[in-house]
Structure 1
């Protein structure tokens, strides 16, 4: 393949990954508008966000091996088609349930695309130096997309209706489809390579059960039996998945990889970095809009300060990791992220009264976000190096899938846990003035809707009480984020000080390897 064609292909697959990453966070600034227009309750709000990473995390491990079987070009193009159809369905969803279903369908397309993007880069760029540059661009797109999501969502909501945050994907998908069909090298796949669909179903059942249990356990008026049933489903799904993987000749994940402390620490660091990123961005964008009355665009631009810290630190970490090793960068990144989360809390206007910060100055939050982003950039880059640099050559594709799943699980758990804590603490601590509508106890969105129908004096009293309760949840979520990052720094510091195990020899292939077509 000619040099120019290789780089145009890189642009095409980078655009695909950018779409996947943007849709991870694009709803953060759109959530208040969605809640009002679709009349979503607090649980539905979280499922609108979580359906996407949940389904993607469940399918990613199997999608990589399916691409080996049917061909990565076919997977990439099929994923784009599904992504475009699901985006259209999401844009015109008439109800919260329909939108949740469309987001789940969107994740199917994303899961088909993501492993294919990296595989196409690996088969196209034969020169190691060029390949490293291409993979670096590929990895950067994930961070850029996550940062652009809230900004793009805010910009579109300034000028169009909420469905535009999904419909904008369609013309991009069409262009990427045309470019991918022309530029991507074709290969017929390996029909003799196994694909384990049942394992994907098992891990999906485990994830859904676990997330549902978290949401029910933190919901006011929870049903203990429902939580127990969800936990049983989760335990059964994960247990069956682990047993099946240990019996398979070609498992989706080889648990022997986890015996290497460098790989395990990289997975933990990757998951915690995304836990903090997703959690901080979610709760902060809600507070900026619902408490401080910023527009979605302004909220998205402020939260983008996280990327201002993340991108340069990630580049620096990439240049240092070969000299320092992953340990100081992972541990240092998680410690820096802890400091950033605490600083963001302290500098959030109106939350910590003794600082005397006037609530009309939301720019105060940016130093904390820059520090938190810098820490996460260090940790994520070093985590990738720890996972990919220490996996055996015959497990490189599996290691890439494990890394991607770690990111998705971190994002999923950040939204599920911190979003649930935010909502449940609001309901548990809100003390509304007498005569206030009972619906205002459900969420701050409901309180704002109720206040619009009251007199100015009653509305002010109601909103003051609602804001105070929301800030209780906001404070706790950032403290939890800081505590989780601090615990992660201790864990990774200890694990990375352990001796590494002897390398595992590659097993004899059960099928004939074929050179990929270029």
Structure 2
């Protein structure tokens, strides 16, 4: 459900903009309000989960998510929808760190835990990849608010099953939660997002400068506060582990390439190739069907093949897939490129979570889970802001839509190559387990 809400608007966005009278820039904020708030709050909610218990956090997050879904479904205008999307991000931020923490509590055996996280990763990838097709089905057969209302029955079922099946709540009142740090993180990410949008269009140098100041100020204040806290949200020495850093890079890069390709291709299929939202979503959904087995098998077979081929090799495959899709040609070649992208992204993200969680000490499991989720959402946040802004900037300069799209896809392929090189360095010894702390 959380992964679905990241991408369900890719096919629904044109219909939403028309129904609410939203501008293209408001459309990007409708998409980005969700990962922005989610990313900004995740570190804090991970620590809060350690304090009050991850089962309780999961239940509270589900409730917030369900209520925000109702608000989004019946939003009367673009600004109200942006606010509701931000509340959805808050609900997701409350429950997401709890998912991995509960998996860790449920599966003490490393092999079982790796398989469970691989399944968890495949569900997350599938949710994100299936978002466009689900959005297409709902837009074609129901009114636009249905893309949010679909969350409500899922929330109800998840609440019942959590009460019945989840491990007991284990609060640790010695852990501290610092809301100010979360505000600083949100300020920094908001500044980065606005700076990307303004730099692509250069409509206002004052806004660009203000965004950069907000990004730097929020980042500096966040770092300084962590050094002063007895129980910080993030201790930066955790990045001294190459495995941990490599896992973070893999999660950011995997979502950057996958979500960017998904957003751009879904829009292009509708606006240039004149496919219906359902047909466009179904075309892109082949990535999901490719990602699910790749993600599950990656986690289950990590002990045999190791991190290096799954992550660094996966990024090479993602670059090739992006170039094949960008080249266009026949519908078969585009589908093959999307399949390659899905296989590669599934391979990368199946074990990136294992690297992050496994490399962290047990007493920092909530922190590691928060960093893991921030990594995924940061990749989505940046790619939506960057690819959407670059595409619009190309159109503003008079470029043909297909040419502008091809340029953005080539940028994504280049980014995949850079991520491959960076993760190769992190995993150059090709470790085959989640680390000594797993």
TM-score (normalizing by structure 2)? 0.93
| Contact 1:32-1:290 within 8 A present in 2 as well | no
**Do the aligned residues in 2 keep the contact of 1:313 with 1:378 (CA within 8 Å)?**
yes
**Residue of 363, 368, 393 corresponding to 1:399:** 368
Superposed displacement of residue 492, structure 1: 2.2
Aligned counterparts of 2:301 and 2:169: Cα–Cα separation in 1: 37
Aligned with 2:201: secondary structure? coil
Verify: 1:272 aligned to 2:203, yes or no. Answer: no
Q: Which residue of 2 aligns with 1:208?
A: 190
Match of 1:102 among 56, 71, 84: 84
Q: Contact 1:261/1:498 (CA < 8 Å) preserved in 2? A: no
Q: Does 1:370 align with 2:356?
A: no
Contact 1:75 1:113 (8 Å CA) reproduced: yes
Gaps of 5+ in 2: none
Q: Following the alignment from structure 1 to structure 2, what is the Cα–Cα distance between the partners of residues 95 and 320? A: 48
Q: CA deviation at 1:126?
A: 5.2
CA contact 1:214–1:417 (8 Å) conserved in 2: yes
Quote the offset at 1:129 in angstroms. 5.6
User: Residues 265 and 492 of structure 1 are in contact (CA less than 8 Å); yes or no, is this contact kept in structure 2?
Assistant: yes
Question: Deviation per CA, 1:21-40, whole angstroms, max 9, x where unpaired?
Answer: 11011001101111111121
Q: Distance in 2 between matches of 1:394 and 1:113?
A: 19
Deviation of 1:499 after TM superposition, in Å, equals 11
Please give the alpha-carbon distance, in whole angstroms, between the structure 2 residues aligned to 1:296 and 1:77: 33
Distance in 1, matches of 2:318 and 2:64, equals 36
Q: CA deviation at 1:125?
A: 4.4
Q: Distance in 2 between matches of 1:185 and 1:318?
A: 23
Task: Report the equivalent of 2:422.
Answer: 491
Structure 1 pair 70/494, CA: closer, same or farther in 2 (3 Å)? closer
Residue matched to 1:426: 395
Structure ranking higher on relative contact order (CA contacts 8 Å, 6+ apart) = 2
- For the 8 Å contact 1:422–1:474, the answer to whether it is kept is yes
Please state how far the C-alpha of 1:505 moved relative to its aligned partner. 12
**Within 1, Cα distance between the matches of 2:66 and 2:231?**
32
8 Å CA contact retained: 1:426, 1:472: no
1:331 to partner: Cα distance: 1.3
- Alpha-carbon distance in 2 for matches of 1:288, 1:296: 9
Give the one of 103, 117, 126 matched to 1:135: 117
TM-score after normalising by structure 1: 0.79
SS of aligned partner of 1:429: coil
Gaps of 5+ in 1: 1-18, 350-356, 431-468, 507-518
Deviation at 1:127, TM superposition (A): 5.7
Cα separation, 2, equivalents of 1:201 and 1:146: 27
Query: Is the aligned partner of 1:327 residue 2:308?
Result: yes
SS in 1 for 2:397: helix
Distance 1:192 1:259, change over 3 A: closer
Contact 1:321 1:385 in 2 (8 A): no
* 1:309 Cα offset (Å): 2.5
The equivalent of 1:252 in structure 2 is: 233
Structure 2 equivalent of residue 232 of structure 1: 213
Q: Deviations over 1:170-221 (max 9, x none)?
A: 122122223323443443623332111111110100000110111112126x
Summarize the alignment of residues 22-421 of structure 1 with structure 2, pairs less than 5 Å apart: 22-125=4-107, 131-187=113-169, 189-219=171-201, 222-346=203-327, 348-349=328-329, 357=330, 362-421=331-390
2:436 & 2:81 partners in 1: Cα distance? 47
Give per-residue Cα distances to partners, 1:85-140, cap 9 Å, x unaligned. 11011111111111111000011111111112222333344566654444333222
Q: Once structures 1 and 2 are overlaid, which stretch shifts more, 93-102 or 139-148?
A: 139-148
Residue 218 of structure 1 aligns to a residue in which SS?
A: helix
Gap change, CA 1:401 and 1:250, over 3 Å in 2: same
Question: Alpha carbons of 1:366 and 1:407: their partners in 2 closer, same or farther (altered >3 Å)?
Answer: same
**Residue 144 of structure 2 aligns to a residue in which SS?**
coil
Post-superposition offset of 1:169: 1.1
Residues 423-462 of structure 1: pairs in structure 2 closer than 5 A: 423-430=392-399
Instruction: Measure the CA separation in 2 of the matches of 1:129 and 1:494.
Output: 25
